[in-house]
Amino acid sequence: MRKKKTIALVAHDNRKSDLIDWVEYNWKELFQHNLVCTGTTGSMVKEVMDKKCEDNNLIPPSITRFKSGPLGGDQQLGALIAEGKVDIFIFLWDPMQPQPHDVDVKALLRICALYNVVTATNRSTADFIISSELFHKDYKPAIIDYSSYINRLNK
């Protein structure tokens, strides 16, 4: 049996309709995994998943909802990533508008790069990820060894 993945779904306000459209399209796949979201995104994802499940007589999945991004949700998600507990991250961030928590957004993107998390920051990449053969196999990204950096920093 395929192992459940933990998929984090987050979108800034101007990108939420895009993410929700993507969730509606991919709900059957997403239904089979653990979903983690920041606050407002999570409410919207839950609404879609609940409706799809209700229409199909399925029990809706529970969705872990952190605080809203500007209130610390990005940092909560970053902590989960640092613990190695996120397999895939779909983050439709807004490239056209500054956010009050831009520093948190930057930190979150950094931590994704650091931990080699499969990350999409636009819909076409999200489509590639969810339709990838690797997604459907139990792909685990390599853990990057940063010990040489740390040793250098400690000198």
Ligand X SMILES: O=C(CO)COP(=O)(O)O
Q: Considering only residues 5, 12, 15, 46, which one is a binding residue for ligand X as defined by CB under 6 A? A: 12
Which residues are annotated binding-site positions for substrate? 12, 16, 38-41, 68-69, 101
10: contact with ligand X by CB under 6 A: yes
Rounded Cα distance, 110 and 75, in Å: 11
Rounded Cα distance, 107 and 88, in Å: 17
- The string of DSSP letters for 71-129 reads GTHHHHHHHHHHTT--SEEEEE--TTS--TTHHHHHHHHHHHHHTT-EEESSHHHHHHH
38: contact with ligand X by CB under 6 A: yes
40: contact with ligand X by CB under 6 A: yes
How are strands ordered across the β-sheet holding 34-37? 63-65, 34-37, 6-11, 88-92, 118-120
Which residues are annotated binding-site positions? 12, 16, 38-41, 68-69, 101
Choose the stretch contacting ligand X; rule: CB under 6 A; options: 21-29, 63-71, 116-124, 129-137.
Answer: 63-71
74, 94, 104, 138: which is the annotated catalytic residue? 74
Choose the stretch contacting ligand X; rule: CB under 6 A; options: 23-31, 62-70, 129-137, 144-152.
Answer: 62-70
| Active-site residue, 74 included | yes
* One-letter amino acid for residue 59 of the chain: I
Q: How far is the CB of 86 from ligand X (least distance, A)?
A: 14
Chain residues that interact with ligand X, rule: CB under 6 A? 10, 12, 38-41, 68-70, 73-74, 105
